């Protein structure tokens, strides 16, 4: 069941998501060769707590950290470690918060120093595909119009979309209905309505779409160990169309 949110609830969700957005903006500025993903995790946790929120990933199903930090061929759910980032890496930062019972969730991919043209194109395509999806998040459209907009754009650029992990509704729980695949035909699934709040999150690979889980039971990697990128925004469907909740002005 898809839970519709009132304007007051959307306001709380905006607050939770802006806390995530500010933390991610801070982390992005710190990305350079030599920093560890554990240091980033510590800054992320402090930034979220400083705003009176709780890092929602920490302890979720036993996840040990505030931040998911996934490097290069790691797709999502990477556990922060003493590993140092190096020039040419791409790192995916995924962060969640809970503020007064409402959840925020957003992710970005960031280049470390100079990265390959392919990596840049992958990241840019993924970011752009997210906005293609957001553009379809309007009352009266079908859910899979979002999926199709993301997937068809990614494929037109010669990359592949991860199928085993998907976007989701978000509200008083970090994951709610509906699941939002990033591929498939348009015009299917539930009709979108005002008051729906969705976390749209394309995960895009350079090579095969296939992924596998590492022995730590968290880190998802590409099967062929080629690069992967990830961007995520939480958005609300309003009478004026989609409103991105996890984006800072300017
Ligand atoms: Mg996320
Ligand atoms: Mg999410």
Count of CA atoms in the C-beta half-sphere (13 A) of 216:
14
Buried b (16+ CB within 10 A) or exposed e, 75-112: bbbbbbeeeebeeebbbbbbbbbbbeebbbbbbbbbbb
Q: What is the pLDDT of residues 22-48, one digit of tens each?
A: 999 999 999 999 999 999 999 999 999
Residue 5 Cα to ligand 2 middle (Å): 18
The predicted model gives 122-131 an average pLDDT of 98
The more confident residue out of 249 and 226 is 226
pTM for the model stands at: 0.98
Q: Specify the DSSP element, H or E, that contains 211.
A: strand 211-213
Domain locations along the chain: 7-244
Q: Check: CATH 3.90.230.10 for 7-244?
A: yes
Distance from CA of residue 48 to its chain's centroid?
Answer: 17
Q: How far is 19 from 48, CA to CA, in rounded Å?
A: 6
pLDDT the model gives residue 65: 98
Q: Specify the DSSP element, H or E, that contains 26.
A: helix 7-30
Residue 93 Cα to ligand 1 middle (Å): 8
Residue 100 Cα to ligand 1 middle (Å): 19
pLDDT the model gives residue 243: 98
pLDDT the model gives residue 250: 54
Count the Cβ atoms, other than its own, within 10 Å of residue 162.
25
Q: What is the pLDDT of residues 66-119, one digit of tens each?
A: 999 999 999 999 999 999 999 999 999 999 999 999 999 999 999 999 999 999
The predicted model gives 47-74 an average pLDDT of 98
pLDDT over 70 at 61, yes or no: yes
Give me the sheet containing 176-180, strands edge to edge.
Answer: 176-180, 167-169, 197-200, 233-238, 241-244
Residue 166 Cα to ligand 2 middle (Å): 8
């Amino acid at each position: 069941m898809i839970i519709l949110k009132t304007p007051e609830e959307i306001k709380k969700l905006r607050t939770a998501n802006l806390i995530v957005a500010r933390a991610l903006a801070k982390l992005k500025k710190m990305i350079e060769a030599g920093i560890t993903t554990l240091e980033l995790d510590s800054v992320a946790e402090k930034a979220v707590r400083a705003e009176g929120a709780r890092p929602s990933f920490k302890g979720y199903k036993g996840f040990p950290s505030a931040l998911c930090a996934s490097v290069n061929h790691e797709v999502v759910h990477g556990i922060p470690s003493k590993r140092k980032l190096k020039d040419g890496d791409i790192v995916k930062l995924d962060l969640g918060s809970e503020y007064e019972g409402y959840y925020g969730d957003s992710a970005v991919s960031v280049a470390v120093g100079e990265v390959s043209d392919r990596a840049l194109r992958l990241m840019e395509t993924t970011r752009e595909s997210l906005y293609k999806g957001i553009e379809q998040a309007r009352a009266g459209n079908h859910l899979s119009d979002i999926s199709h907009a993301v997937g068809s754009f990614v494929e037109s650029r010669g990359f592949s979309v991860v199928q085993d992990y998907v976007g989701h509704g978000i509200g008083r729980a970090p994951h709610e209905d509906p699941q939002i695949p990033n591929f498939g035909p348009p015009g299917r699934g539930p009709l979108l309505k005002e008051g729906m709040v969705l976390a749209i999150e394309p995960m895009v690979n350079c090579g095969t779409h296939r992924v596998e889980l590492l022995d730590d039971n968290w880190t998802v990697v590409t099967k062929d160990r080629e690069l992967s990128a990830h961007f995520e925004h939480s958005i609300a469907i309003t009478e004026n169309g989609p409103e991105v909740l996890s984006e800072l002005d300017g």
